[in-house]
Structure 1
């Protein structure tokens, strides 16, 4: 009987997640002029919940009314990695783990950055990792493996991106092949700053603007990164709209995932709270603008993170769970297959409610903007 029940559950799950999900778009939705996609790498519901327990401020997640769930499985694995997860968002295809902007047949579907640029939309990418890391790379590059960061970097100068901020300087300059990608960026009308984000105000009148502020990833919050992510989002929205343009921007809180991989709760929570503050800056802009769709989600969950009750020991040596105190715990050093929340605000936000596949975000965004593939 147990085997029968397990088999039945497997069949139901397979039918839910292997069949093509109906892409539900409300036809009378107001069109979005701008789209900001915020990705908190490695973040499931428990990670989000930490913003409610480990900071004194009210979490900015409470400002959303339209919430859905996505299945993040890749084309060949139940558990996705960041490359396949981000490619699903960026290009609308399920693909193999490790793929950057490629499908299972190694063809290169257009990314949201490429589509938006071809439609005359300004574009931006921000990350607390290197800009060649899996998630940001999937929005502008096409590579068979996420590990090909030097090859991925070569896509950025010709990508159509107008604003970027993050780490990864070593992939653009001082390379073993002597290829100077900073010079290529400058030839494509970029002003590139490698010293400080505080220089933004002096540079914001430039045609295209990029910040490469670390050799690889940006510092951890615990190491003094400060409010780089929120400031970059605020500057990015200002820069991309300075000529009255419409825009698409992807910003990633990359290192929440790394805290999960390390089973380091303090690292994870510090990065998550930083991302929460970045959500606040984004929603402040969207509320004032009135034409901006904000989508907040994650590529997958990392660490099997849980906010459990703290285990304590009585005088007699017996243990008990103290429900008055939380103790973050982990069940894995890798990713999990848990469903991931999607939060949406702005024009067409109700289209992101329900339960659906991660690659459907791509089609929903295109439907709500009228950008042509």
Structure 2
């Protein structure tokens, strides 16, 4: 072999090796599980409050990939929770009040419906009734979010494997006098209406439901305790329990951050935000150990026009001033606002959640990160 041929051979081998290496690097890791945490009504100031008022380091600080979403609904500049959650669950813009339906009121497929066809387990967890707008958008279809009894019936018909929250009265104290708790049992649900149990006590069940309030759960400041982080951990354990079918999608909602904003009650809001951050920690702890789980933390909208302002004080001679060493939560509205909402992501595919985009892209980015398709 001539010297010239040797050079060509070396160049060929080098180029082939480079192309092979590039091809390998271009294949992104696939997420096998997705945990979507929605802090209802949570904007940047709400998140910031954890960095000032939580006694431990906020779990929000554990993320590296952060983006922003625009949250307007199909007809309004300012969304409500129903339209916002439908954007996440089905990838479409719809009108305020719509649950799992498009702007023309036709049904749209939800993530739960899509992934269940892939034999992926699913769950929803909330500190509100489980029929409330945000959890409902992941399994139900209603032209109005207030149709709670219809939404409860959709839960029975859905493929949900685990749920925890309030709203028992929409199952067993209905106008049609049906007892949908019995219907849930027929579908294989274990049902607990007293308290969250331990995983060892529920792992034998095919499906599991916790209904711990007639309507909504109590605020954390009034005795709810650590329901949300506990339910998050328990739901993950339950959905991940079968070795031959361990992949899952679960949505976790911190509902009452929003309610603190509507009430212009900073203490209520902050205590709920810190509780939600604890649930985020449970999701991240699992994802770090598992290595195959995508964690996404975001919100449907911001509520209250919340601001961490300097505390207004007066000097001895009555002159007012702003004390920059003390923070007070203030509000500009008792409704929702149109501010962009942060998105935090961790795990396989998390890089795609950086940037600025529409809230509907959360749905599509989840499908891209997992390779879960939308075919029947």
> Which has the larger displacement, 330-339 or 167-176?
167-176
Rounded to whole Å, the distance in 2 between the matches of 1:270 and 1:201 is: 30
Task: Sort the Cα spacing of 1:87 and 1:262 in 2 relative to 1 into closer, same or farther, 3 A.
Answer: same
Which string of whole-angstrom CA distances, capped at 9 and with x for unpartnered residues, describes residues 21-69 of structure 1?
xxxxx96321100000000000000000000011210111110000000
**How many residue pairs end up in the alignment?**
348
User: Rg larger in 1 or in 2?
Assistant: 2
Deviation at 1:187, TM superposition (A): 0.8
Task: Sort the Cα spacing of 1:176 and 1:27 in 2 relative to 1 into closer, same or farther, 3 A.
Answer: farther
> Which has the larger displacement, 222-231 or 297-306?
222-231
Rounded to whole Å, the distance in 2 between the matches of 1:71 and 1:239 is: 34
Rounded to whole Å, the distance in 1 between the matches of 2:328 and 2:195 is: 37
| TM-score after normalising by structure 2 | 0.91
Rounded to whole Å, the distance in 1 between the matches of 2:151 and 2:238 is: 25
Deviation at 1:199, TM superposition (A): 5.4
2:21 corresponding residue in structure 1:
none
> Which has the larger displacement, 349-358 or 235-244?
235-244
Deviation at 1:158, TM superposition (A): 1.4
Deviation at 1:317, TM superposition (A): 1.1
Q: What's the secondary structure of 1:154's corresponding residue?
A: helix
Rounded to whole Å, the distance in 2 between the matches of 1:153 and 1:209 is: 15
Rounded to whole Å, the distance in 2 between the matches of 1:285 and 1:202 is: 20
CA RMSD across the alignment: 1.0
Rounded to whole Å, the distance in 2 between the matches of 1:94 and 1:111 is: 13
Which string of whole-angstrom CA distances, capped at 9 and with x for unpartnered residues, describes residues 239-261 of structure 1?
11111210000000000000000
Rounded to whole Å, the distance in 2 between the matches of 1:223 and 1:348 is: 38
Rounded to whole Å, the distance in 2 between the matches of 1:29 and 1:60 is: 25
Point out where structure 1 has 5 or more consecutive residues left out of the alignment: 1-25
Q: What's the secondary structure of 1:124's corresponding residue?
A: strand
1:38 aligns with 2:37: yes
Rounded to whole Å, the distance in 2 between the matches of 1:328 and 1:372 is: 43
Answer yes or no: is the 8 Å Cα contact 2:199–2:238 preserved in 1.
no
Rounded to whole Å, the distance in 2 between the matches of 1:325 and 1:188 is: 54
2:161 corresponding residue in structure 1:
162
Rounded to whole Å, the distance in 2 between the matches of 1:94 and 1:340 is: 16
Answer yes or no: is the 8 Å Cα contact 2:198–2:234 preserved in 1.
no
Which string of whole-angstrom CA distances, capped at 9 and with x for unpartnered residues, describes residues 57-83 of structure 1?
011111000000000000110000000
1:49 corresponding residue in structure 2:
48
2:66 corresponding residue in structure 1:
67
| TM-score after normalising by structure 1 | 0.92
Point out where structure 2 has 5 or more consecutive residues left out of the alignment: 1-24
Q: What's the secondary structure of 1:150's corresponding residue?
A: helix
Rounded to whole Å, the distance in 1 between the matches of 2:202 and 2:70 is: 41
1:273 corresponding residue in structure 2:
274
